[in-house]
Amino acid sequence: MSHYLLAIDQGTTGTTSLLIDAKSFQVVDKEKVEYRQIYPNPAWVEHDLNDIWQSIEDSIEIILKRQKVIKGDLIAIGITNQRETTCAFNRQGKPLHNAIVWQDRRTASWCDSHRDEYEKKFRPLTGLPLDPYFSGTKMRWLLDNSQEVKNAESKDDLLFGTIDTYMVYRLTAGLAHVTEASNASRTMLMSLESFEWDKSLLDFFGINKKHLPEICESFTSFGTTKNCGFLPDGIPILSILGDQQAALFGQACVNEGDIKCTYGTGAFLLLNTGEKKVYSKTGLLTTAAYFYQRKKVYALEGSTYIAGAAVQWLRDNLRSIRSSSEVERLANEASNLSQMEHVLFFPFFTGIGTPYWNSEAKAAIMGLTRDTHNGHIARACLEGIALSVNDSVSSFKKDFSKLNDIRVDGGASANNLLMQMQANFSDKKILRPEVTDTTAYGVAMGALVSRGEIKISDLGKLWKLEKEFNPTDEKYYPSKRELWDKTLKKVFI
């Protein structure tokens, strides 16, 4: 009988389920099912929780059927998820409102009016700035604006959570209303010191603790499957991490100074700071990395809201490419770098994250001339992604004395030109592993940690290098980096 781990990666644009061999740690099969993006108003982004659940069901059913998996083959489930996206549902598991996505900016004015009080009293408790990105402001909005949420609250039938909470609730037939520390640390409601909901934060946002899930360790038993239909009953859910922390874990970044960058819809960098809470002086976030056997591990994080989504914009809005994978070929048509010196692409479609935190910023392309063509714009788009990421790398260098090579993953990490740009702009070696589905891989490894089959210190033995990108000494890159920095601060800050 085969033994498999099922890793469910519930992401911003779709759900990817992976089947991983529990002995060889090899990915046996994977399937991604996309779902709708809902934009009710400018800068608002929502997901229908029923769409999400259907994508979970479909992706799992497809791989189980394709691999002829039978009852007893699955030994554990790991879950990773888009983190700050906020759900409201009742005790029957019925959604009360569309999920408000991490990219959503509807609470910007609320944040502006409460920022001074928050920064003075609460910033050290959460490690986060007051920004629409995080879940607490979204919960506040739902309580103020959704009639169904208000009605459920009055009847004591309201449950809040991030996507992991909703998934576990549905997978366990409502028996487990839980989350874990890496996701809870993104709500602005959890104390980084205690890894528990903090009363002063709950009071500030006006959130009742009874509506929130229990915070658990990252690698433990969260419950077992029941009445799902597409999964046998009794499969233990043994690992949960927010997607970026899962990628950190899947990249075996378990030592101080280890760093990873995941290129997905956005790009997110995490730097492992060990058991030390490091508070940034340059706009980085302090966050939980994972929580296991009472050991709290922390990270510094840089957040770039738009990365792969900028390439999707070229595809869907400008229609300069038919598929995202074509962008590298098109960008390589702009091989004469002297024609690129003044072309800048600022991918700020949903504001600026680290290190400037400007939720009102808008995207822009600058420095165009009559001879500018699609190749130049495609290359500038990739440069804009790499330069946005480098703003976080620059902050890491200032805030933490030890910074190892950058391990990369996510869909856009397959783009060799982008990875070489990243090495050149950041002046750091870029390491791409054989397995780039590291979010799902990370929670699969976490499930084995939970089962006691591997130790966290042994994860490095499982990590394998596929390609290395080394910085070059071309003068173009420092010059372009300087122009980016100067223009960004003049126009957007």
Q: Which of 184, 210, 235 is the last residue of a domain?
A: 235
Partners of residue 46 on adjacent β-strands:
38, 100
Whether the per-residue pLDDT at 142 is higher than 60: the answer is yes
Rounded to whole angstroms, what are the CA distances from 238 to 29, 60, 117, 416?
20, 17, 39, 35
pLDDT digits (tens, 9 = 90+) for 169-202: 999 999 999 999 999 999 999 999 999 999 999 9
Residues 368 and 419 in one domain: yes
Let me know if residue 432 belongs to a domain: yes
Verify that 87 and 17 share a domain, yes or no.
yes
> What pLDDT is attached to residue 350?
85
Do 165 and 257 belong to one domain?
no
Quick check: is 32 in a domain? yes
What average pLDDT score do residues 460-474 get? 93
CB atoms within 10 A of CB 470: 11
What's the average model confidence in pLDDT over 480-490? 96
Number of domains the chain contains: 2
The answer, yes or no, to whether residue 137 has pLDDT greater than 70, is yes
pLDDT score of 41 more than 80: yes
| Domain extent for 189 | 4-235
The tens digit of pLDDT for each residue in 274-312 reads 998 999 999 899 999 999 999 999 999 998 989 999 999
Can you tell me the distance from the alpha carbon of 266 to that of 430, in angstroms, rounded to the nearest whole number? 18
Same domain, 202 and 97: yes
- Distance, in Å, from the CA atom of 97 to the CA atom of 142, rounded to the nearest integer, reads 8
Mean pLDDT over residues 303-328, rounded?
93
The two three-digit tokens of residue 144, written as one number: 């103020």
With both helix axes pointing from N to C terminus, report the angle between 163-171 and 49-66 in degrees, rounded to the nearest 10.
60
Whether 203 and 179 have beta carbons less than 8 Å apart is answered as no
My answer on whether 224 and 304 are in the same domain is no
| In a domain? residue 359 | yes
Do 178 and 303 lie in a common domain? no
pLDDT for res 13: 87
Q: What's the average model confidence in pLDDT over 86-110?
A: 95
Q: What is the CATH number of the domain that holds 160?
A: 3.30.420.40
Instruction: Transcribe 283-315 into DSSP letters.
Output: SPEEEEEEEETTEEEEEEEEEES-SHHHHHHII
pLDDT tens for 416-431 read: 999 999 999 999 999 9
Residue 241 covered by a domain? no
Residues 256 and 230 in one domain: no
Whole-number average pLDDT of the chain: 94
Backbone angles phi, psi at 197, to 5 degrees: -60, 135
- Whether residues 224 and 346 fall in one domain: no
Are residues 144 and 282 part of one domain? no
At 115 the pLDDT is: 94
Q: What angle do CA 414, 417, 419 make, to 5 degrees?
A: 60
Secondary structure (3-state) at 97: coil
Please tell me whether residues 208 and 265 are part of one structural domain: no
Domain boundary among 235, 269, 289: 235
Q: Is the pLDDT confidence value at 105 over 60? A: yes
What is the per-residue pLDDT for 1?
54
Same domain? For 196 and 281 the reply is no
Residue 93: inside a domain, yes or no? yes
Q: What angle do CA 222, 223, 229 make, to 5 degrees?
A: 130
- Is 154 found in the same domain as 223? yes
| The residue type at 201 | L
